Amino acid sequence: MNKQVDSHSAEASKKRVLLLFAHPSQGRSEVNAELFKLANTITGVTCVDLYRDYPKYDIDIEREQQRLLEHDVVIFQFPLYWYSTPSILKEWQDLVLEYNFAYGPKGTALHGKHLLCAITAGGKEDAYQCDGYNHYTIRELLHPIEQTASLIGMQYWAPFVLFGARTAVEEGRVSEHLQQWQLLLNAIVEDRVDLKKAGRLPQLSGHLDSALLLDAELPAADAQSHTKGEA
């Protein structure tokens, strides 16, 4: 009986993750396609390819709202295009995050849920600084999404970023990034992320160890269940 109770408790503590992938040129993708492929192997992560599902941008609002209701954590995965998201992800936000669903006097459906961005940026990290080529940090460039999360009652996390994506393959940096991605996704599902730190960090990539909870910091039932990565 106790084992059954423990099993139900462990399942209840798991986070349901919704990953919304937006990449208009997947045939040329060297990194994002691999990230999305790996995410599809993680139990507890629902992966949605927006360009595949809606090639004519005819987004099913009710379907997408239901997906949001059924998940605890939402991830926007995309390559950074002109300091913003690809167009379909902006269209998704414009249509799905409706008045009195996501905001407004009755718009509390997403309160208490979590949002983060997993992105690739063509430039090196030093280009995304106040004194760099792009004048702003990645976190600053994503402020519109962060403010959207705030308005609709979601907790916003620091982004998971691969800088210098155009040269990542030839420089041999993709494998390590995929390992960190797998670690992050499993940690989210297993509810092993320090939510306060995840919100305060400039970015999760490069700081992931400090954002993950150690076994000693977890409730007893959770500490007995370690992450299970699938390659």
Looking at every residue in the chain, the average pLDDT score rounds to 87
**Which residue did the predictor score with more confidence, 70 or 1?**
70
C-alpha span between 29 and 33 (Å, rounded) = 6
Looking at residue 221, its pLDDT comes to 44
- The pLDDT tens digits of the residues spanning 193-230 come to 998 899 898 889 888 888 887 544 444 444 444 433 33
> Is 214 contained in some domain?
yes
> Is 19 contained in some domain?
no
> Is 10 contained in some domain?
no
> Is 14 contained in some domain?
no
> Is 137 contained in some domain?
yes
pTM: 0.86
Q: Is the pLDDT of residue 83 over 50?
A: yes
**Nearest partner of 124 among 133, 115, 116, judged by Cα:** 133
**Nearest partner of 35 among 146, 168, 136, judged by Cα:** 168
Q: Any residues with CB less than 8 A from the CB of 64 and at least 6 apart, and which?
A: 92, 95, 96
State both tokens at 90. 């902006």
CA distances from 152 to 156, 187, 199 (A): 11, 24, 16
pLDDT band at 12 (very low <50, low <70, confident <90, very high): low
pLDDT band at 170 (very low <50, low <70, confident <90, very high): confident
Task: Tally the domains of the chain.
Answer: 1
Q: Is the pLDDT of residue 5 over 60?
A: no
Q: What average pLDDT does this structure show over 103-107?
A: 95
> Is 204 contained in some domain?
yes
Looking at residue 224, its pLDDT comes to 45
Looking at residue 166, its pLDDT comes to 87
Domain residues for the domain of 68 are 29-75+84-223
Looking at residue 10, its pLDDT comes to 54
CATH of the domain at 119: 3.40.50.360
pLDDT band at 168 (very low <50, low <70, confident <90, very high): confident
- The pLDDT tens digits of the residues spanning 121-159 come to 988 888 988 888 989 999 999 999 999 999 999 999 999
> Is 231 contained in some domain?
no
> Is 89 contained in some domain?
yes
Looking at residue 214, its pLDDT comes to 59
